[in-house]
Amino acid sequence: MVKHTAHNGKAVGSNPTSPNYKYKIKKIALSIFFMLLQAAQKIGAGLSTFGLAGAGIGIGLIFASLIVGISRNPNLKDDLFRSAILGFALTEAIALFALMIAFLILFV
Q: What tens-digit pLDDT sequence spans the chain (108 residues)?
A: 555 555 665 555 556 666 688 888 899 999 999 999 999 999 999 998 888 999 999 999 999 999 999 999 999 999 999 999 999 999 999 999 999 999 999 998
Whole-model pTM above 0.85? no
**Contact criterion met (CB below 8 Å) for 59 and 88:** yes
From the list 97, 19, 17, the residue with the least C-alpha distance to 52 is 97
Domains and CATH numbers, the chain: 19-107 (1.20.20.10)
Beta bridge partners of 5: 11
pLDDT at 40: 94
